[in-house]
Structure 1
Amino acid sequence: MKKNYLLLSKEDNWVRPFFKKYKWLLALVLFLGFLTFFAASALMFTSGYLISKSAARPENILMVYVPIVLTRAFGIARPTLRYVERLGSHNWVLKMTSDIRLKLYQAMETRAVKSKSEYQTGNILGILAEDVEHIQNLYLRTIFPAIVALILYSVIVIVLGVFSVPLALLIALLLGVIIFLLPLTAVLVNNARVYRQKAKRHVLYNQLTDAVLGVGDWQYSGRYQEFLNGYNESESLVRDEDKEMNRYSRFESLGKQVIFGLIVIIMFVWAGNYFGKTGEVIYLNWIAAFVLAFFPLIDAFAPISDSVKELPLYEDTVQRLSQLPDTTPPVSKVDDEEEEIIKGSEIIFKEVDFRYNEQSKQLLQNFNLTVSEGEVVAVLGKSGVGKTTLSKLLRGDLLPESGSITIGGIESSELGEEQSEVMGVLNQSPHIFNTTMRNNIRLGNLKATEEDIEEAAHQAGLAPVIEKLPLGLDTVVEEGGKRFSGGEQQRIALARILLQDTPIIIIDEPTIGLDPMTEKQLLETVFEVLKGKTVLWITHHLVGTHYANRIIFLEDGQISMDGSPKTLLEENTKFKELYQLDLYE
């Protein structure tokens, strides 16, 4: 097991990198943790001496003045150091987990489509709620306290060794049971139980998210109670595991209290013998000081075994996070001055094979397509034939099993952050944010001037809409663009693309759900303002394809028809039949 933890620690690229990044803050946190318990122990030490000294009726107050000052100083230092230590430790952990969450979001976004196919929503929630949260608790409740306890353990043994080596060895043995033996036993006893508990919690996340997303279907089918019964049964299994772990924790806590009680008795007997041999009252004052100094240390040593038993979860957490896509950005040929840069906007699919997984059908097989610079290509085909997949491959959201996809001679997957400077996307459901229309358009280019924004809005055909708004472009719109019609939302998205000013535009069925008149007007505007750009147009309608220079039909992973609209209409019987059917739908 130890070997596994060491191996995982070396393979961990989710937590270890942040040790180096925040190493000085980490060192400060550990030092403050040690000082906190030192101040607490010193407070009890000086208090014990002060009480004993005062009980002996000193000749004047000056005889106990120093212990009084030290008691006040350590009394103030203890909560102050504790507060600063908590601030520092939480600051370190929150910085780290913030970076981890950012890395997690980047990992999921890197292959957004693949993530949706491989990870259930509940599974992703499990990673966010269980794994990242566990890393946070691991350091706050396990790593930091354990390191501080080891430092205190070493200091205590060394200090007691100055007075008595046998005593130091005996205390080292008893404290070692609490620091080493009990935590190891806790891990061995609860190892399988902790894994089962976490697995059952992930089952709950999946069940709950599936049910919430489909709550209407549960109700309409009359099986709502069936879901509740199943969920309650799963939840009771988790509670049963909690009960077993809590039962063990109670017995373990009793054992720790017995050991601490034994340490206090040993210290009392030793101090009585050590300081009582002289028979002088001045030495007897140290008895209470040494005994009381151990009481605050219970808080340092007792929590270790309670938190260490969750260490097996760290192994599982690292494994789950390591399975996520690597967020290391690919080396971009655009960024490397010694490498070839993008030349033009020609798109080439060369012998591309793709399917989503081994069980799914082959969407593209030995697929070849060249889109010349400035060409508008309409891609048609039946639902599920791979039209949208083609655009996702071009964007790099998906990677082909074999073959290559290049833009201006550069692999599309290697564009990295440069992708936004090369490609713009007008999709079916552009998101409209709950801010001003101006800010919604500005998303296309944050550095755009006010004149650029107004020009883009005008070109996108938004002038009549803006004139009706109370504050024009500065009118705050509703979340999701509810204030606008579907066509108006698409025009806002089009204005963003115009502001983005990329050489390649992907249009993915933007007219779905629009009435014929709005669809016609939108397409006229789109292809008017996109003249000269390379356009890959995913569409389900043949009517309107006269805007394209070329039409291709996808079928069985290949291009079954290819040609200009005029040529296909004149020479291809099948195309002519499909066109007539589409015209009179």
Structure 2
Amino acid sequence: MLNKIPILRSLKNDHWVKPFLKRYKKTLILAIFLGILTFVCGAGLMFCAGYLISKAATMPENILLIYVPIVLTRAFGIARPAVRYVERLVSHNWVLKMTSSFRKKLYDSLEVDAVFFNSKYQLGDILGLLADDVSHIQNLYLRSIFPMFVAWGLYALIVVGLGILSPLMGLWMLILFGLMIFAIPYWSVIINGARQAYEKEVQDKIYVDLTDNVMGVNDWILSGRNKEYLRLHVASEKEWLKVHQKMRKFERMRDFLLQMLFLLIVVSLIIWAGAKFGGHYSSATNWIAAFVLAVFPMVDAFVQLPSAAQETNIYQRSLVRLNKLPQPKKEEVKPIDLKQPYELTLSNVHYTYPGTKKEILKGINLTIKPGERLAILGRSGSGKSTLASLIRGDRKPSSGSIKLNGVDTDKFGDQITKYISIINQTPYLFNTTIANNLRLGNEDASEEQLWQVLRRVGLSEMVQELPDGLETKVDEAGLRFSGGERHRLALARILLRDTPIVLLDEPTVGLDPITEQAVINTFIKQLKGKTLIWITHHLQGIDKMNQVIFIEDGKLTMEGTPQELWETEPRFRELKKADQGL
């Protein structure tokens, strides 16, 4: 029967939820214990208060007869909020530690496929992995696993405690609370869980149909089928509403059943306490009030379980998607310390994307000498950016090798950032201060060093005129600045990093010709003496390069200095004239 519950099937081969339960089990056990103790203190407070109120109403001859209930009421009254506060601290500490490790594992897992992530996942899947799934797994802990363990602990205490006083009453509570903890949540998952999945399916279909139909609404109108379009949409809405109403109706019936069970528990306690302590009427009244009031705060731990169990159907999708991700790499990269000068050697490099048959690069042989300025040209899709990722070690060649001073670049891992920096087509600036964005290149850079690199890239005067100078926020994605300014800030970051090799992956795309030439001049001037690899699809500024290569269909088709290619390659002359508008 338990195999019918999706979340349990998914947890069998899970490597995302169970490991964190084991890793932080001590903190989790303490949080669960404090959670149970919170409800015990609440029940103890109501038990003593109920006994005290009914006992005091009989006008005891001496205050000492109710002294102990008074002390216990105060003790439980103080203990309940205090224990709850500590429980919140411990549980939140546990959740934060778990979430931190969980996110790190997720990012490490995504990094395995990061270089071709967009080709494997749609944007919605990426957002789901990075946002929804993390939230869902966190809720799985907080709203399902944690309350479930607390409820089980209380369940055991109630059954054992009442079983000691009366085995028959203990057995009866075992049945009643068992229905609240196991039977009704299971029923809720089976019945409403299927409806919940169908509701999500219908809702997704409505979104897709609505988007497609709105985009083609003119076709519907011109063909005279606008009423049919409305009829289809209304039918889908009615189907969704029908499922939604069934779910709400079931939840109302389930909640009513829980209340009836609770009422049955209260009545059972009244009858049992009256019979157990019924030797004297006033004594029986005291114990009846005590036991009945004690059960009220404890029921709060049980009534939320059915809805929490039902929500696991939502979390199950996230669990399945997460478990399909590759396991993070665990091998440690050995420290690599290279000595100058730095030379890149590409030997018979072939590359095919995993899961495809089309070969992107076909036998590339190239040597990039220290301090050389190399331009890699080719049409879009020719393999230029793939070659850049291979040079930086983000990808491993299918065959052949790319070595930096004799070491394969894919062996460096994060250490490659000591030797190779990159400026992409759209340099990203984070929504923080200019200073913080620049210090991504060097965390220890002083304010004077920041101003120095800004002067080198021609932005110091602009930054000085800003209201807060270096502490000015750049806005999300750096939209406060123009395209040319964002490229210059990215260059300033590279200058702070001071790597010997800089890779420019079409950094001037989208800039107007004047700004483009100014940015190119700045790059060439400020990166003088470094090995510069410039990937581009047109020839502006090409004369400033030492070496030029053309990649077509994954192969090198032209290679030489700009002057040599101008003199010996008619096609190069045509391309350059076309690029200059001649």
Compute the TM-score of the two structures, normalised by the length of structure 1. Answer: 0.84
In structure 1, what residue type is equivalent to 2:370? E
Q: What's 2:541 paired with?
A: 544
Q: What is the rounded CA distance, in whole Å, between the counterparts of 2:160 and 2:334 in structure 1?
A: 60
Q: CA deviation at 1:301?
A: 1.9
SS in 2 for 1:293: helix
Q: What is the rounded CA distance, in whole Å, between the counterparts of 1:327 and 1:204 in structure 2?
A: 37
Q: What is the rounded CA distance, in whole Å, between the counterparts of 2:532 and 2:566 in structure 1?
A: 21
- Structure 1 unaligned regions, length at least 5: none
**1:389-437 residue CA offsets vs partner (Å, 9 max, x unmatched):** 3213333444555544333333333322212212111233324556665
Q: What is the rounded CA distance, in whole Å, between the counterparts of 1:493 and 1:60 in structure 2?
A: 83
Match status 1:389 vs 2:386: yes
Q: What's 1:323 paired with?
A: 324
Match status 1:494 vs 2:491: yes
Q: What is the rounded CA distance, in whole Å, between the counterparts of 2:315 and 2:464 in structure 1?
A: 58
In structure 1, what residue type is equivalent to 2:168? P
Q: Which moved more, 1:302-311 or 1:191-200?
A: 191-200
* Alpha-carbon spacing, 1:372–1:145, altered in 2? closer, same or farther (3 Å): same
In structure 2, what residue type is equivalent to 1:549? N
**Structure 2 contact 341–370 (Cα < 8 Å) conserved:** no
Q: CA deviation at 1:237?
A: 6.0
Match status 1:133 vs 2:135: yes
SS in 1 for 2:64: helix
Q: CA deviation at 1:169?
A: 1.4
Match of 2:57 among 26, 50, 55: 55
SS in 2 for 1:554: strand
SS in 2 for 1:75: helix
**1:369-401 residue CA offsets vs partner (Å, 9 max, x unmatched):** 333333322111122222223213333444555
Q: CA deviation at 1:467?
A: 9.6
Match status 1:444 vs 2:438: no
Q: Which moved more, 1:60-69 or 1:198-207?
A: 198-207
Q: What is the rounded CA distance, in whole Å, between the counterparts of 1:71 and 1:507 in structure 2?
A: 73
Q: What's 1:358 paired with?
A: 356
Alignment of 1:138-537 (within 5 A): 138-198=140-200, 240-276=242-278, 278-279=279-280, 281-282=282-283, 285-328=286-329, 331-334=332-335, 344-348=342-346, 350-355=348-353, 358=356, 362-432=359-429, 440-462=437-459, 465=461, 469=465, 474=470, 476=472, 478-479=474-475, 486-537=483-534
Compute the TM-score of the two structures, normalised by the length of structure 2. Answer: 0.84
Q: What is the rounded CA distance, in whole Å, between the counterparts of 1:201 and 1:5 in structure 2?
A: 22
| Identical positions, percent | 45
SS in 2 for 1:541: coil
**Structure 2 contact 108–329 (Cα < 8 Å) conserved:** no
SS in 2 for 1:294: helix
Alignment of 1:34-73 (within 5 A): 34-73=36-75
Q: What is the rounded CA distance, in whole Å, between the counterparts of 2:386 and 2:534 in structure 1?
A: 13
Q: What is the rounded CA distance, in whole Å, between the counterparts of 1:114 and 1:232 in structure 2?
A: 40
* Alpha-carbon spacing, 1:190–1:399, altered in 2? closer, same or farther (3 Å): farther
**Structure 1 contact 114–398 (Cα < 8 Å) conserved:** no
In structure 1, what residue type is equivalent to 2:423? L
Q: CA deviation at 1:582?
A: 2.5
**1:160-182 residue CA offsets vs partner (Å, 9 max, x unmatched):** 22222222112212221222222
Q: What is the rounded CA distance, in whole Å, between the counterparts of 2:433 and 2:44 in structure 1?
A: 61
In structure 2, what residue type is equivalent to 1:559? L
Q: What is the rounded CA distance, in whole Å, between the counterparts of 1:491 and 1:200 in structure 2?
A: 49
Alignment coverage as a number of residue pairs: 573
* Alpha-carbon spacing, 1:233–1:531, altered in 2? closer, same or farther (3 Å): farther
Match status 1:572 vs 2:566: no
Q: CA deviation at 1:329?
A: 6.0
Q: CA deviation at 1:34?
A: 0.9
Match of 2:560 among 544, 559, 563: 563
* Alpha-carbon spacing, 1:177–1:478, altered in 2? closer, same or farther (3 Å): closer
Alignment of 1:86-101 (within 5 A): 86-101=88-103
- Structure 2 unaligned regions, length at least 5: none
Q: Which moved more, 1:78-87 or 1:26-35?
A: 78-87
* Alpha-carbon spacing, 1:95–1:435, altered in 2? closer, same or farther (3 Å): closer
Q: What is the rounded CA distance, in whole Å, between the counterparts of 1:28 and 1:567 in structure 2?
A: 75
**Structure 1 contact 375–533 (Cα < 8 Å) conserved:** yes
**Structure 2 contact 46–290 (Cα < 8 Å) conserved:** yes
* Alpha-carbon spacing, 1:157–1:112, altered in 2? closer, same or farther (3 Å): same
In structure 1, what residue type is equivalent to 2:346? I
Q: CA deviation at 1:239?
A: 5.3
**1:8-61 residue CA offsets vs partner (Å, 9 max, x unmatched):** 446434333433554443223212211121122222222232233233331133
Q: Which moved more, 1:177-186 or 1:476-485?
A: 476-485
Please report the RMSD computed on the Cα atoms of aligned residues, expressed in angstroms: 3.9
